[in-house]
Chain A
């Protein structure tokens, strides 16, 4: 089908199938899946500015479906998600300004691409190492044990007024500024590298704040609705969103997100984290391939 807004030919079946696949990933891991959907859209000939904006629009719809499902399963900490939005939105702006600054001084695609590959590989290696250790350290059944739990306990002990409690996440006391600070950093990544940065936020929530994995997945999706919604609006104003492509992709993603969210109930926290390991790595490989070949698959 020819898409009038972005002037691109893309198969409807390809878009629905791609949406379904990243929908499953989104529902299961709480990530937007931009590190896979982005290169997949780019490979079909969609210009990069439309890739970023259109993918964000599709993430909004998918996150609504998955977050409502996780909310029904009791996996969304609305209080934590609402606080995180403040830091994320500020961080996104700073990250976007960083891109503007880079544009005038360096080769922005190369700098952003290499940074993203480094970040994705680090996340993949660390999450793999930690979840493997957690699985082999005696935690069984539905317990959500982390072998680096001492890090989140140290962060929770930082006394910086005001201190709040997060009963849904099982955190009795934590500084508001710690949450805002961490979400600000994830927002900077989002603004700088594009997408919802769920691949950063999900590990942040689990390893740094000490949120159980199931709740981290649901809360991340809830937060992504607002941050990706804001991103959609700003990108649409700049002419970077082909909403028809997003609507078509989302028809597949809606079903995939439901299936992904329901599947989390059958896995323990360390197993979800271990299954997460290949995703950032695959994203890094796809990105490296795009950088080396300079673009489209067709």
Chain B
């Protein structure tokens, strides 16, 4: 398959079987879940105390940092989840 040989119909049917798709989907979700766990751990370790201090002492700075963080995470996770969905769509075809 990797050297460009056409895939036969039975082989394609095996590749697209619901069980295989479900397994790939779960695998992708697992990878996403692992990434999120590491990401959240880093965020909590690096930012949390500083954000709480900022909220207590510099409310205006906190407001802008909070908005910046959620926008940055929105863009970052959009790129990541788009790749995830694209990979899953390619596998399902």
Binding site for B on A (CB under 8 A): 1, 4-5, 12, 16, 57-58, 60-65, 68-69, 229, 232-233, 236-237, 239, 241, 243-244, 246-248, 250-251, 254-255, 257-259, 262
- Scan residues 1-36 of chain B and give those whose CB is less than 8 A from a CB of chain A: 32, 36
Whether A243 touches B51, Cβ cut-off 8 Å, given contacts A229-B71, A232-B70, A254-B77, is yes
In the assembled complex, how far is the CB of residue A19 from the closest CB belonging to chain B, in whole angstroms?
A: 11
Whether A5 touches B52, Cβ cut-off 8 Å, given contacts A65-B81, A232-B70, A254-B78, is yes
Binding site for A on B (CB under 8 A): 32, 36, 39-40, 43-44, 47-49, 51-52, 55, 59-60, 62-67, 69-71, 73-75, 77-78, 80-82, 84-85
Task: Choose among A62, A69, A233, A243 the residue with the greatest number of B CB atoms under 10 Å from its CB.
Answer: A243
| Chain B facing A: main interface SS | helix
A244 partner residues in chain B, CB cutoff 8 A: 43-44, 47-48, 51
- Inter-chain contact B39/A237, CB cutoff 8 Å: no
* Complex: chain B residue closest to A15, CB-CB: B40
In the assembled complex, how far is the CB of residue B44 from the closest CB belonging to chain A, in whole angstroms?
A: 7
The residue from A61, A229, A237 contacting B73, defined by CB atoms under 8 A apart = A61
C-alpha gap A244/B69 in the complex (Å): 10
- Inter-chain contact B36/A60, CB cutoff 8 Å: no
A58 partner residues in chain B, CB cutoff 8 A: 70
B36 partner residues in chain A, CB cutoff 8 A: 16, 251
- Inter-chain contact B77/A4, CB cutoff 8 Å: no
- Inter-chain contact A61/B74, CB cutoff 8 Å: yes
Task: Choose among A58, A61, A239, A241 the residue with the greatest number of B CB atoms under 10 Å from its CB.
Answer: A61
- Inter-chain contact B81/A60, CB cutoff 8 Å: no
Whether A61 touches B70, Cβ cut-off 8 Å, given contacts A68-B78, A239-B59, A258-B81, is yes
B75 partner residues in chain A, CB cutoff 8 A: 64
Task: Choose among B52, B70, B71 the residue with the greatest number of A CB atoms under 10 Å from its CB.
Answer: B70
C-alpha gap A1/B40 in the complex (Å): 12
C-alpha gap A232/B62 in the complex (Å): 11
The residue from A64, A68, A241, A255 contacting B66, defined by CB atoms under 8 A apart = A241
The residue from A5, A12, A69, A250 contacting B70, defined by CB atoms under 8 A apart = A250
A229 partner residues in chain B, CB cutoff 8 A: 67, 71
- Inter-chain contact A60/B67, CB cutoff 8 Å: yes
C-alpha gap A62/B78 in the complex (Å): 9
A4 partner residues in chain B, CB cutoff 8 A: 48-49, 52
Whether A237 touches B59, Cβ cut-off 8 Å, given contacts A247-B69, A251-B39, A255-B84, is yes
The residue from B48, B66, B70, B82 contacting A258, defined by CB atoms under 8 A apart = B82
* Complex: chain B residue closest to A230, CB-CB: B67
C-alpha gap A16/B43 in the complex (Å): 15
- Inter-chain contact A62/B74, CB cutoff 8 Å: yes
Q: A232-B66, A236-B62 are in contact. List 5 more A-B contacts (CB 8 A).
A: A61-B73, A62-B74, A244-B51, A247-B69, A251-B77
A246 partner residues in chain B, CB cutoff 8 A: 66, 70
